[in-house]
Structure 1
Amino acid sequence: MSQKTFAFFPEAAFGPALNSVGIAQAVERLGHKAVFLSDPGFVGVYEGYGFEAHPVNLSEPMPPEQMAKFWEDFINGHIPNFRKAPIDQIDNYVKECWEAIVDSAKWAQKDLPGILARIQPDVIAVDNVILFPAIKQFGVPWVRIISCSENEIEDDAIPPHLSGMSVDDKEGHAAFRKKFNEVIKPIHEDFNAFLATTGEDPYPLGQFFEASPYLNLLLYPEPVTYDRAEPLDPRRFQYLEGCVRQDDPYEVPAFKRNSDGPLLYISFGSLGAGDTELLKRLISLIGKSRYRALVNVGDYMDAYEDLPDNVIIQSWYPQPSVIPQVDAVIHHGGNNSFTECLYFGKPAIVMAYVWDGHDNAMRVQETGHGFRSDRYDWTDEEMIEKIEACLTDETMAARLRKTSAHMQAANGQEKAARLLTGLVENKA
């Protein structure tokens, strides 16, 4: 087959962006060309991995550094809401996110038709929670990637997306769906009005995207998937078993204290790093323990002084190279952190703050791969107890080894690349 062009359009967050990078690398290993459609602030990320990237305005145009600051300020402004239960975040954080997401679809429609006409992709893969009509209408196979929690594809038998609820809390599921639809209704009506201007049919209340008729790729690994009332059709829905990308190698530095102690990795992602008080509290706890810790503090290096000798901080780590070398991870439930811990068989304590982190935290605990922890309401003794369980629970360790072996045998990147290129072969 002659070289084809595969366009990837992840949302402007490092989780989906880096997941798509991994798939794009595998596509290129098969001899094809991968390009990125990108929020202007992420163009440099894709170019850094050697890909061609085309900026698509998803908001009022502004310099990339200003765009990055916008989302940083947005998250930091919501830190008080991180103390709330997921259902109580619907009318503040979740509502404001959906307003911004709907606006992004409107802005994208201005740029996308011209960009697609220029690059002429043979397949388009979009990792987002909202429909971009121009992609659906371009006339080539389009693929939906679901790198967030699996329940982004709803089913009546499983917890609603973003709820962080147990599978057995049916009453809670109904309450969450009811409040979500009430709060989101005006935003949803606005989105449907926009769809009408593009010739698209309206979506049912609460739905902002649809499954692709061609192919849908879920990042979730099968060992932690939900039992659905209506199983997903494997001809259209495929699990990528984590799809972990390759990154720069990492050598664990020498620690001045606890040089042989269990090694922890702590990260709340690039945006969650703004919660410096929580990270300082964890660092203080580790400083009094037998452990060592590598801590990702993002752009807030200057906020930390007098670090204990068994803690090392950096603004960024090549996470897929770090996690295999640690004994346990404390993270925010982001899709990459969630799947990388499972892929490398590492127990996790998930301290979620927003979005699907809540769902991933509950899923880690319900499936016996780690623990869900409240983000703020915990004592030092409770946190140490969870860490020790991560280090010593043999049943959990055996389950993690089994899940890790399953995921690594699947090779999700190559699987995704084969499925994507198969769309072009089938079309031919």
Structure 2
Amino acid sequence: MTKKLTVLMTPANFVGPIMSSIGIGEVLRDSGHRVVFAVRASWRPKLQALGFVVELLGGEQEVVKDTVEDSLELIKNMISNRTPLEKGLNTFTTEMMADLIAIGEADEPYYRQIIDRHKPDAIISDNVINMPSVVNSGSVWIMSNSNNPLSLDMCLEDNRLPPSLLGLPINDKSLWDDYRRQINETRFQAFKVWADWLQSHGCPAPAANQLWFPSPYANFYLIPKELDYTDIRPLPDNFYQFDYYKRTANEDVFEIPEQLRQKSGKLIYLSLGSMGSADVDLMKRLVAMLANSEHRFIVSKGVNHDKYELADNMWGERFVPQVKVLSIVDLFLTHGGNNSITECMYFGKPMLVFPLFFDQFDNAQRVEDKGYGIRLNPYECSEQQLLQSIDKILNDNKLIEKLRQVSQRIQTEKLIEKIPEIIDRLVKQKSK
């Protein structure tokens, strides 16, 4: 490092993008750079405790809200037993774009003030959408995609891959064209409204049916090499793949609870993420089936933790330090969020994936296609299917060894540590 840089992080107000940004921010912080987060007030305590500078979107007067509790109605609409196509057709609708534009209009003045105040050398935006204040900042700006990289079709459409968010297999193209047509027809007007809004703020418009345009500087995306799609669709040189954005979790301490230490069986971690765990009926369904397993379970109970009870072979709390827990368990039962998938691969753990919405379908299918776990529908699988799938994975010694080797590669290569070098090089090139 030749100069201490100021890097501004502008993640979307969801757990996934913010946690990914924390992973990137920690590497930059530990390299001696000054890291600033522009976020909602509810995230300030956690981010300040990690040594980051925090600027508020909404200002000091904004009421502090729990991100998940404030989104329960949205969560109910997203998480239900509908097909991936039905959910995909309801993603990025005209109504949703109107909401995004309203949020963008409200946030733009704050972003501009924050950028003017800190004059960042670089901005990393894990926001899925382009924000005019970032694009027009005069700084090096980087789009960071913490979703499954199939979602890059929203800026780089490529018919060699299936349309994103639908969980379609790579080796069966029978539904690709029909589903792509339906998705494009549904989103065309919504994306046009968004493109018009970007142009009204001095930005270039994305191409038709593209939600955002890539940065000319650099674009980061998150997926282990073993699950990437570059063997089918190479990406431009300014796209950088990272195996994980795992947080250090130094602030977390975890020991196996006494009630589980006294029981036999493998140790399994169940988490449907901050949003999925809000579905009480689904959590009750899984708990009831897993109660008949011979194994032990650590459960991330989520925001509705007080609305259901766990079985005798389980222990759980509202929040569970996932990074610490994954390091000690034998199997991960997961909703398939991208952070969870990459952290699981980092520790070399097999997984059983219960996709619920958005890119989780693509992650679940990719994990199964590549032979790193099993995909199940959590609303429809039988108790026998679930328990047999668990035992099948736990007894698959070839899979366990394959994952051990993946974990060793990821932890040895440490691709995330290249981020400061990339940013430093881009800033130098721009200043010439």
Classify the TM-score, shorter chain.
Answer: over 0.9
Q: Deviations over 1:49-88 (max 9, x none)?
A: 2311112249xx9523176533122102444xx2111111
Q: Bigger CA drift: 87-96 or 321-330?
A: 87-96
The whole-number CA distance in structure 2 between the counterparts of 1:173 and 1:293 is 38
C-alpha distance in 1 between matches for 2:261 and 2:346: 29
For residues 172-210 of structure 1, give each alpha carbon's deviation from its aligned partner in whole angstroms, at most 9, with x where no partner exists: 222222122222222212112211211223222221211
Q: Note if contact 1:255-1:292 (Cα within 8 Å) is conserved in structure 2.
A: no
- Residue 406 of structure 1 corresponds to which residue in structure 2? 409
SS in 1 for 2:259: coil
Measure, in 2, the Cα distance between the counterparts of 1:37 and 1:21.
12
Assess, with a 3 A threshold, how the Cα gap between structure 1 residues 296 and 198 changes in structure 2: closer, same or farther. Answer: same
CA offsets 1:396-418 (integer angstroms, 9 cap, x no match): 11221222112111213312232
1:250-295 deviations in Å (ceiling 9; x for gaps):
2111226862310110011111111111211222222222110011
Which residue of structure 2 aligns with residue 56 of structure 1?
Answer: 57
Pairing 1:86–2:84 present: yes
> Could you say which residue in structure 1 is the equivalent of 2:4?
3
Further displaced range: 12-21 or 39-48 = 39-48
3-state SS of 1:153 partner: helix
Offset at residue 106 of structure 1 (A): 3.1
Q: Retained in 2: the 8 A contact 1:332–1:352?
A: yes
Q: Which moved more, 1:85-94 or 1:370-379?
A: 85-94
SS in 2 for 1:418: helix
Q: In structure 2, what residue type is equivalent to 1:133? A: P
In the TM superposition, residue 21 of structure 1 has moved relative to its aligned partner by 0.9
Separation in 2, partners of 1:152, 1:210: 13
Aligned partner letter, 1:108 = D
Task: Write the mapping of 1:74-223 to structure 2, written as runs, cut at 5 A.
Answer: 74-79=74-79, 82-95=80-93, 97-154=96-153, 155-223=158-226
Q: Distance in 1 between matches of 2:260 and 2:401?
A: 32
1:110 Cα shift? 2.9
Kept in 2: contact 1:273–1:298 (CA 8 A): yes
Contact 1:256 1:309 in 2 (8 A): no
Moved more, 265-274 or 48-57: 48-57
CA contact under 8 A between 1:343 and 1:408: conserved in structure 2?
Answer: yes
CA distance change for structure 1 residues 228 and 177 in 2, over 3 Å: closer, same or farther?
farther
- What are the ranges of 5 or more consecutive residues in structure 2 without an aligned counterpart? none
Structure 1 counterpart of 2:288: 284
Read off the aligned partner of 1:275 and give its amino acid letter.
Answer: D
Which secondary structure state, in structure 2, belongs to the residue aligned with residue 10 of structure 1?
Answer: coil
Q: So what's the TM-score if we normalise by structure 1?
A: 0.93
Aligned residue number for residue 279 of structure 2: 275
In structure 2, distance between residues paired with 1:355 and 1:136 = 26
Task: Report which stretch shifted further, 90-99 or 317-326.
Answer: 90-99
CA RMSD of aligned residues (A): 2.1
Identity of aligned residues (%): 29
Q: Is the 8 A contact 2:78 2:357 kept in 1?
A: no
Paired with 1:314 and 1:365, the residues of 2 have a C-alpha distance of 29
Contact map agreement 2:41 2:64 (CA 8 A) in 1: yes
Residues 8-23 of structure 1: pairs in structure 2 closer than 5 A: 8-23=9-24
Amino acid at match of 1:254: E
Question: 1-side partners of 2:319 and 2:304: how far apart?
Answer: 11
Q: Aligned partners of 2:62, 2:321: CA distance in 1, in Å? A: 29
Alignment partner, residue 332 of structure 1: 335
Alignment of 1:236 with 2:238, yes or no, is yes
Q: 1:158 to 1:57 in 2, by over 3 A?
A: farther
Q: Runs of 5+ in structure 1 lacking a partner?
A: none
Equivalent-residue separation in structure 2 for 1:185 and 1:57 (angstroms):
31
For residues 4-28 of structure 1, what are the alpha-carbon distances to aligned partners after superposition, in whole Å with 9 as ceiling and x for unaligned? 1011111112222112112111111
Equivalent position SS for 1:252: coil
Q: Secondary structure at the match of 1:156?
A: coil
Structure 2 CA distance for aligned equivalents of residues 393 and 176 of structure 1: 35
Question: In structure 2, do the counterparts of structure 1 residues 379 and 99 end up closer, same or farther at CA, with 3 Å as the change threshold?
Answer: farther
Counterparts of 1:342-421 in structure 2, within 5 Å, are: 342-421=345-424
Q: Residues 237-256 of structure 1: CA distance to partner in whole angstroms, max 9, x if unpaired? A: 11111131111232111226
Residue 167 of structure 1: how far off its partner (Å): 1.0
Q: Tell me the distance in 2 between the aligned counterparts of 1:120 and 1:390.
A: 51
In structure 2, the residue corresponding to 1:37 is in which secondary structure?
strand
Distance 1:66 1:312 in 2: 24
Instruction: Tell me how far 1:38 sits from its aligned partner.
Output: 1.3
Q: What is the one-letter code of the residue matched to 1:121?
A: P
Q: Is the 8 A contact 2:123 2:142 kept in 1?
A: yes
Question: Does the 8 Å CA contact 2:286/2:378 hold for their aligned counterparts?
Answer: no
> 1:90 deviation in Å?
3.0
How much does 1:333 deviate?
0.9
Contact 2:245 2:339 survives alignment (8 Å): no
For 1:170 and 1:336, locate their aligned partners in 2 and report how far apart those are by CA, in whole Å: 28
Cα shift at 1:128: 1.8
- Partner of 1:170: helix, strand, or coil? coil
Say if 2:294 is the partner of 1:298: no
Asked whether the equivalents of residues 123 and 420 of structure 1 are also in contact (C-alpha less than 8 Å), the reply is yes
1:226 is aligned to 2:225: no
In structure 1, C-alpha distance between the alignment counterparts of 2:128 and 2:351, rounded to whole Å = 26
Deviations 1:297-327 (A, max 9, x none): 112121123x322101111111111001001
Distance 1:257 1:66 in 2: 33
- Does the residue aligned with 2:36 lie in a helix, a strand or coil? strand
- How far did residue 108 of structure 1 move? 2.6
TM-score (norm: length of structure 2): 0.92
